[in-house]
Amino acid sequence: MDIKYNLKSASERRTEPFMPEGDVGFGKLRTDHMFLMDYRDGQWCDPRIVPYGPFEMAPGAMSLHYGQSIFEGAKAFMHEDGEIYTFRLNKNAERMNRSADIVCIPNIDEAMQVKAINALIDVDRLWFPQQEGACLYIRPFIFATEDRLSVSPSQQYTFCVMLSPSGAYYASGVNNGIRLLISTQFHRAVSGGTGASKAAGNYAASLRAGKAAVEYGASQVLYLDSTNTQIEEAGAMNHFHILKDGTLIIPTFTDTILKSITSQSIMELGEMLGCEVRQETVMLDQFIADIESGEIIEAGGFGTAAVVSPVSSYIFEDGRVITVGDGKVGPNIQRIYKLFTELQKGHVAAPQGWVNRVERVAP
C-alpha cells in the first residue's frame, strides 16, 4: 500500500537538526508527525502520515472498555555517516503479530509495519537528538475503535506509530545496580493468559506490584510463576543471571513470559560475547542458594529501553535481602552492554539484517 503524506507546513515543523542543550530524557518528547492506518470492512487501509495530535474516538470505543490494545517498542540510531538506522525492526513486527493473535486483533503485514516506521522516521529525521547516546524511540501500537458495548473482538482498529527523541538511558554507562522485590503475592501472568503479549492490560496490572516494590525500597518486582517456585521475569524486563564460569542463563520462555528482543539477540550473540548463553527453568530456591554460595556472580534484566539493567540485590517480603556478588556492576554486564550498544550505533558490525538504514524517500 502507498502511504499518503499530510505534513505540517514548513513553518510549523522542525527544519533544523535537534540540538538539545541538556538531557532530553527518555520517552518524554514527540516529533511533528505520526503514522496512522485503519482496519475496517475486514482489511487494513488508508496508511498515512499526519501531524501528531489527539485522536477522535467514540466514548464507546472497545479499547476503552475491554482493553483490546497492544504495543511495541524499538529504537533507531544515528551512525557516524549521519544516517539513521533501525535495529531489528522485523523482530518487533513479528512480535506485534504474536501479540495481536493473543488478543484477537487482525495481523498487519510485517513488511508494511517496517515500511510505516521507516517512512515516519524519514519524515521526522531532523528530530534525532544530536548528542551522545541518543536515539529515536519507536512506539507502534494498535487499539480497538469500534463503538460497541459487548464483550467480543472489535471489527475496527487503528494502527499508530509515534516517535520519541530520547537521550541515553544511562548517561554515564552502566554504573549502578537496582534492587528487585521477590514477591509471592503478585503475579504478572498465568498460563493460558496474555503474558506472552505486549498487551496494554499487562502493564496496567503491573502498576500495583510496582508500587509495592517501591515501598520495599526496590525498583521493580521479580515475578515468579503461579506456584511461587520458578523465576519468570522482572517488571518490564526479561531476567538473567551469570554463573562464575561466565555462563549466562535466561529463564525458558513460556506463555507467561514476554520474549524480549534484547534477550533473543543476546542468545544469538553468544559467540561474539565470548560466553555460553542458554535458557533453562530457574527454580527460586536454587537461584537463592547459588547467589549465597557465590555460584551466581551477576544478575539483571534485558529490555529495549535500558538494554541491560544490572541487579545488585533482591529483597523479600519479609525484609530479608540477598546481595549479588559484591553488589557492584560486574565486568560481564559491562561487556554485554558495551557490545550491544556498539552494535546499535554501528561501531561494531552487526549480524546480517539486524541494522538497516532509513532511506530518504519522503516528499
- Report yes or no on 283 lying in a domain: yes
Any domain includes 99: yes
pLDDT tens for 204-248 read: 999 999 999 999 999 999 999 999 999 999 988 999 999 999 999
Q: Is residue 359 part of a domain?
A: no
For residues 56 and 147, membership in a common domain is answered with yes
> With bands split at pLDDT 50, 70 and 90, how would you rate the model's confidence at 303?
very high
Which of 169, 190, 206 terminates a domain? The answer is: 169
The reported pLDDT for the residue numbered 267 is 97
Q: Is residue 184 part of a domain?
A: yes
CA distances in angstroms from 256 to 164, 191, 230, listed in the order given = 29, 6, 12
Same domain, 140 and 267: no
Whether 298 and 185 map to the same domain: the answer is yes
**Domain span holding position 293:** 178-345
The pLDDT value recorded for residue 235 is: 84
- Would you say residue 337 lies in a domain? yes
Mean pLDDT across 99-124:
98
List the alpha helices (DSSP H) in the chain: 62-66, 89-102, 110-123, 200-215, 261-268, 270-273, 284-293, 331-345
Q: Is residue 352 part of a domain?
A: no
State what percent of residues in the chain have pLDDT above 70: 99
- What is residue 22's predicted lDDT score, i.e. its pLDDT? 86
Question: Are 165 and 186 found together in one domain?
Answer: no
Tally the domains of the chain: 2
Predicted confidence at residue 171, as pLDDT, reads 66
Q: Is 328:177 a contact under the CB 8 Å cutoff? A: yes
Grid coordinates standing for 241? 543471571
Distance between CA 124 and CA 145 in Å, rounded?
27
Per-residue pLDDT tens for 135-192? 999 999 999 999 999 999 999 999 999 999 999 887 656 889 999 999 999 999 999 9
Q: Do 164 and 299 lie in a common domain? A: no
Predicted confidence at residue 363, as pLDDT, reads 82
Instruction: Report the CATH number at residue 111.
Output: 3.30.470.10
pLDDT score recorded for residue 322: 98
* Rounded average pLDDT over 286-293: 98
Asked if residue 318 and residue 275 are part of one domain, the reply reads yes
Q: Which residue has the higher pLDDT, 171 or 258?
A: 258
Query: Residue 285 falls within a domain, yes or no?
Result: yes
* 207 and 310 part of one domain: yes
Residue of 235, 245, 218 lying closest to 312 (CA atoms): 218
- Quickly tell me which residue has 495481536 as its cell: 100
pLDDT score for 168: 84
Is there a single domain that holds both residue 87 and residue 150?
Answer: yes
CATH number, position 191: 3.20.10.10
State whether 95 and 206 are in the same domain: no
The reply to whether 158 and 196 lie within a common domain is: no
25-54: pLDDT as tens digits = 999 999 999 999 999 999 999 999 999 999
Residues 297 and 322 in one domain: yes
Q: How confident is the model at residue 84 (pLDDT cuts 50, 70, 90)?
A: very high
The reported pLDDT for the residue numbered 137 is: 98
Q: Are residues 225 and 302 in the same domain?
A: yes
Give the pLDDT confidence score for residue 131 in this predicted structure. 92
- State residue 23's pLDDT score: 85
> Residue 113 and residue 90: Cα distance in Å, rounded?
8
- 123: in domain: yes
Q: Which of 144, 169, 194 is the last residue of a domain?
A: 169
Confidence at 318, pLDDT banded by 50, 70, 90: very high
